[in-house]
A and B are shown apart, each in its own frame.
Chain A
């Protein structure tokens, strides 16, 4: 875990719900097929050679198979439980972690459990180690940022001899896995220009004096009188630094998360970039010192979450990643200064028209070259979004 502060508390031993999948019919395993064939052949071969001891061996094998199948049939009537050691796990994308999954079945000491496969929507299971007592230690690695609700398990229950098995797909939906975007980890590239200064002493400029003002890199389109030459002289790369008056800066920014289009496979890859983008925007705004409010829509209502630190931002990012699309977007658009949405959403003319006057961070569906315009930027996960944020912050 990269940052312990982001870990949701472990809640001890939580109970998992088991949702039976399709019918689990008992089938003869390959081993069972060979076992019964070998038993029959042993009986016949021992009869040919008149080997009493080998004949007894064949009949013993047959009797063992009967007892084993009887145990299996009786045990299959009982209830199976799936239990996990934590109901809410958080990891960063790329981070490896583990959890323990156990199965409970009355008479389970007579039967065999096999964990055929298991997985999350946004994490890759790297290893499965069997533990005593029908328990397994799952090692997994977060692959896509976002929230995954439910652990998909494919298990098989076998009789003591492994002749028959019942396979079933189950979903342990009380388990929530949050894969946090890497953008929350910290500054990948230091911001070149300091953000806000309080009570700094501007030099050579008669004006505001001791006041809250912002700084940004000077561009030729701006007024040259705002350049703070003393600060520029101290700058190691000789960049020109410009003063931005308090009255020109937003003190708070509302970032809206808009999803209105349907995507195949739940749009996991798109959702991953969305989380990275939202986390990157939120992190930068928090570092600048702006009050951040994330506007997003749940299944029931529009939510405006104020965040003041990275922990709250992580919660909000995960909440946004798990939500469903909605066609009622006008309220969300109206309340947002910057909207993070997808290029596919712009295919809807009504939405595109409503978004035309807003600052947009656009998440493409696939590999699209990043581009930046006055009011929008296409974000594929790695670009710097500071230029867009500066424009958002200017009134």
Chain B
């Protein structure tokens, strides 16, 4: 891991954890804790504790996802067992307990899991440039945290603790398709996003190990790419603002230049297909002696 990769990893980590902190703060301030009972506290705190334990015990290994899945499966088994017991002994408290455990588990996962995923993403970045996995996970984490944080901050009143997951799903069903997703605002969200953007832009040009990255590429390519993207988004903001911001329109606006780029890439690639190396005839092959 060279210094560029390390710097990108640190910047992405700082940005993601800043967004995560913003989300946690919004959760703590907007969720109604007045109706939280003892069972929910126990399940929530134990789940957070179990998540931390998984990260500590398994560390930065590939076993972490399996361990997280096992954690969630354990609570699901307990819930199903309670529901099964209710079939044998029809006591309503069993159903209530099962519902409480399940909803608390889901809420704890929604709150605690992003932290684990960020940790895992940073681990992947440190291991090497696996672009698809890293870029997609970072973008999804940013999207999820921004979405939940934006909704929580703009929510009217308080959100129930047990129904937090259901509330988030309902918000996503309506707002994403309609194009009314709350936008990030304020320095606490813009600066982390900008840091993540810049870090990923530089990180994406990191060549695989063994191939030398030309020094000019470090500066030139990200700047050119950023200028192109800025120009396109400015163009859409000025000339396409009359279009409704639905999911399909947003995707089309983003996909149109992407398709144009892919066509250009393939055309240029075909141009290079027929070219072959030839002989150089020079009087002095090496301008300078290799050994100095």
Contacts and interface: CB of A to CB of B under 8 A. Distances in A.
B56 interface: no
A50 B135 contact: no
B201 to A, nearest CB: 6
A5 B201 CA distance: 57
Interface in B203-253: 204-205, 207-208, 210-217, 220-222, 224-230, 232-233, 245, 247, 250-251, 253
Given A46-B254, A47-B251, A69-B265, A26 B272 contact: yes
Interface stretch (B30-38, B64-72, B163-171, B279-287): B279-287
A372 to B, nearest CB: 50
Contacts of A168: 276-277
A50 B205 contact: no
Contact of A131 (B144, B222, B290): B290
Interface in B248-289: 250-251, 253-255, 257-258, 261-262, 264-265, 268-269, 271-273, 275-282, 284-286, 289
Nearest to A36: B262
A293 interface: no
Contacts of B179: 50
B229 A56 contact: yes
Contacts of A47: 247, 250-251, 253-255
Nearest to A128: B210
Contact of B277 (A13, A18, A112, A161): A18
Interface residues of B, number: 81
A324 B134 CA distance: 58
Contacts of B213: 112, 160
Interface in A31-46: 31, 34-46
Contacts of A20: 276-278
Contacts of A79: 277-280
Interface stretch (A103-111, A274-282, A311-319, A380-388): A103-111
A331 B4 CA distance: 70
Nearest to A12: B289
Given A44-B255, A54-B139, A109 B250 contact: no
B225 A60 contact: yes
A257 B279 CA distance: 37
Interface in B151-177: 176
A374 B142 CA distance: 88
A112 B211 contact: yes
Please indicate which of the listed interface residues A62, A69, A76, A102 has the most CB atoms of chain B within 10 Å of its own CB. A62
Contact of A81 (B143, B226, B265, B282): B282
Interface string B114-135: 0000000000000001111011
B207 A56 contact: no
Nearest to A170: B277
B194 interface: yes
Given A24-B276, A65-B265, A51 B143 contact: yes
B17 interface: no
Contacts of A162: 207-208, 211
Nearest to B183: A50
A63 B272 CA distance: 18
A80 B277 contact: yes
Contact of A13 (B201, B228, B285): B285
Contact of B286 (A13, A40, A80): A13
A158 interface: yes
Nearest to B129: A31
Contacts of A325: none
A72 interface: yes
Contacts of A110: 214, 216-217
Given A43-B254, A59-B232, A15 B281 contact: yes
Contacts of B279: 17-19, 79, 81
B146 A51 contact: yes
A160 B205 contact: yes
A48 B175 CA distance: 10
A54 B143 contact: yes
Interface string A92-110: 0000000010101000011
B197 interface: yes
Contacts of B131: 31, 34-35, 38
Nearest to B288: A133
B136 A42 contact: yes
A70 interface: yes
Contacts of B57: none
Given A44-B254, A54-B143, A59-B229, 7 more contacts: A43-B251, A47-B255, A49-B176, A52-B233, A53-B193, A56-B226, A62-B261
Q: Which are the 8 A-B pairs with shortest beta-carbon distances?
A: A81-B280, A49-B143, A83-B285, A60-B225, A80-B277, A63-B228, A59-B229, A62-B261
